[in-house]
Structures are given as structure tokens and as C-alpha cells.
Amino acid sequence: MRAAIILAILSLTFFASCRSGEGSDISEEAPIVRDARTVNSMDNSRTSLDWAGIYEGVAYCDTCEDMKTILRLSKDNTFELKQTANVNGNEEIRYQNEGKFTWEDNGSEIIVESGEIVIRFQVRENEVRMLDMKGNVIDAQLANFYSLTKQ
């Protein structure tokens, strides 16, 4: 019996707090939450940044001293991508390709496709950051190795 009374009081309190919001600063509508990838705005990396240029970075390599990556992005949506490994003081080209890249609808990510290789990058101020295959930022201990800095 006591539990039923407590439940009734809690229910009345709950329903009383769910009024129309008169005299309250709280809006009746829930805030709209938008994923950054779905918002098509004029203010994005493609339209607001000077993104064309050469980006470089050095990544960890377990079979060499380091792996240097150079990505050139041109205003005509073409790219050149080159990876060289430093092996005993000598540079070995591990990968080199060029072609066209495409912008995602959000205007902040590009997709570089060359043959069977598909790489996604987030375009940022003076930097591009490699993303995973789903378009998520790589959150790992070596995440800084996935970032290329504009030269």
C-alpha cells in the first residue's frame, strides 16, 4: 500500500512537471542534433579553407626507420600520393599514384581512390587527417601519424 502511494505521488509530480512550459525558458521542441557529416553548409573546409597544396607526414614503420607520405591536392580535384620508406638511409618508393578525388557532401572530407585502395581524409586548417573506412577519426595511440601537415 505504501509503495502504491509513493508511486502515485511520483507520477503526479512527473506529470505536473510536463506542462506546456508556460513561464519557462525551456522550449517545447527538442534541440535538433545534426551529425557534422550530414550538414550541407556553405561554411565547410571545401569553401572556407585554402586546402589546395602539398601535405606531408612521417609515420611509424615496423620494417623501416620511418614512412614518409606526401599528398598533393589540386584545385581541379586531382591528387598525387606518394609513400617512401627510409630503409638503412635509402628511400624506397612503397606506393605512388595519382588521379581524381571526390568531396563528401559535408564538404570537409575527401575520398582518394586509386585502384583498389580507398583512403578518406578529413580536410582541416593546414592539415589533412586520415580517417578509417567509415569516415571516423582514427583514435589510437599512433593517431598523430595519420596527420599530414600543409607545407
Per-residue pLDDT at 109:
95
Please report, for the chain, the start and end positions of each structural domain, with discontinuous segments joined by +: 45-150
For the stretch 43-97, pLDDT in tens is 899 999 999 999 999 987 888 888 999 999 999 999 999 999 999 889 999 989 9
Q: Specify the DSSP class assigned to residue 117.
A: E
- pLDDT at res. 19: 44
In the predicted model, is pLDDT for residue 12 greater than 50?
A: no
Regarding the domain delimited by 45-150, which CATH topology (the fold level of the hierarchy) does it fall under?
Lipocalin (2.40.128)
pLDDT at 111 > cutoff 70? yes
For every residue of 118-130, DSSP letters joined together read EEEEEEETTEEEE
pLDDT reported for residue 107? 94
Exposed / middle / buried, residue 1 (Cβ in 10 Å: 0-12, 13-18, 19+):
exposed
Measure the N-to-C terminal CA separation of the chain; round to a whole number of Å: 75
Higher-pLDDT residue of 27, 101: 101
**Which of the two residues, 33 and 42, has the higher pLDDT score?**
42
- The Cα 8–Cα 1 span in angstroms is 11
CA dist 3 and 10 (Å) reads 11
Instruction: Tell me if 145 sits within 8 A of 135, measured CB to CB.
Output: no
What is residue 133's DSSP assignment?
A: T
- Report the predicted TM-score, pTM, of the whole model to 2 decimal places: 0.68
**For residue 21, what pLDDT is reported?**
46
What residues form DSSP beta bridges with 73?
53, 79
For residue 124, the model assigns a pLDDT of: 94
Question: Among 10-14, 115-119, 121-125, which stretch is predicted with the lowest mean pLDDT?
Answer: 10-14
